[in-house]
A and B are shown apart, each in its own frame.
Chain A
């Protein structure tokens, strides 16, 4: 399993971009990077995934460094509803979650 490291928590101002870092220095060549989030009292929700290239969807953008050892999830215009725990995963074999980053969006 590729181990991931994320900050424990971070704050973000409503309307501003939120940049969530993740370190996955032991990722293997074929493993994707996945991001999920969990809003209070709900099950985790898929956000985005990528391999080498940057990816964007309606929820977020994913920037993966050229050496693939780290990535950044970008929420372009954070809203109060984006307050959640965000999980970064780098594993194609099993879906294992770490402690994640608790993101608090403040008005």
Chain B
């Protein structure tokens, strides 16, 4: 069975601080995909990034960066120089294609509040 754990329920930071959101996953599949989504107060889930299990290269996109480590089954997300617009709930999700299943398993989310 697949499982995603986001241990941080809520985080508050002051604007311009860096913040890291943790994600730990469990799966027995050797091929899997990891995602981060942002859910602002408006409610729509916004896709941020996708990572394949065979590609551990970290990625940076502007103020966002992701650290994928298979050895610790973690896929952490760092926001540098946070802004008020970053305030949202962030979800980590795991997708596997074993037996043709294409569902995503989501963590419970981390609510990030950036205080001006």
Q: Do A and B come from one complex?
A: no
Q: List A residues at the B interface (Cβ < 8 Å).
A: none
